Amino acid sequence: MSTVLIIFCVLAAITLSTAFLTVFSRNPIHSALYLVICFFSIAGHYLLLNSQFLAIVHVIVYSGAIMILFLFTIMLMNLNEKKEVHRPRITRLGAIVAFSLICIVLILIFINSKPIVGEYTSTGQDYQSIKVLGKVLLNEYMVPFEFASVLLLVAMIGAVLLSKKEKIEK
């Protein structure tokens, strides 16, 4: 076995295990930390694909900025309190059925998918270059780039509004 395959298998195991721990952990702080580890292992996958710029941007944006927002939200909302509402069994059953159906659909899609066979055509441009990547992002993909920034701004405002405490009038 080659070293790249071994590194991929180790990163895949770390990614999957920390993703499951993120979902199934009862402590929200532990979930956030597991998510950070998952993000770093995904950045390792980007490095295996020889995409260094994307790996660094992923670490800066997701592991840095987004996780800081998550941690601030968790701390401001004080999710450690044991005031969780008991959910009825029908809600749990519905979630299990929906999850099972999505898993079945994804498995069927993967089983019936066919690999792309044919000649790979290259444009000759190096998209690893930051200069070329910047031109592509700010020329061809300017509108989606701006939509993403507005979406992040709205999410940040929503997190602040959700964590805001109501004043108790006397």
Q: What is the pTM of this model?
A: 0.57
6 and 86 belong to one structural domain: yes
> From the CB of residue 98, how many other CB atoms can be counted at a distance below 10 Å?
10
79 and 134 belong to one structural domain: no
14 and 84 belong to one structural domain: yes
Number of domains in the chain: 2
Residue 140 lies in a domain: yes
pLDDT, tens digit only, all 170 positions of the chain: 789 899 999 999 999 999 999 888 888 778 888 988 999 999 999 999 888 888 888 888 887 777 777 777 777 766 555 555 666 788 888 888 998 999 899 899 888 888 777 777 777 766 666 777 778 878 888 888 888 888 888 888 887 777 666 666 65
14 and 67 belong to one structural domain: yes
The CATH number for 87's domain is: 1.20.120.1200
Residue 149 lies in a domain: yes
Residue 114 lies in a domain: no
CA distances in angstroms from 24 to 19, 28, 82, 97, 154, listed in the order given: 9, 10, 16, 18, 28
Residue 121 lies in a domain: no
Residue 144 lies in a domain: yes
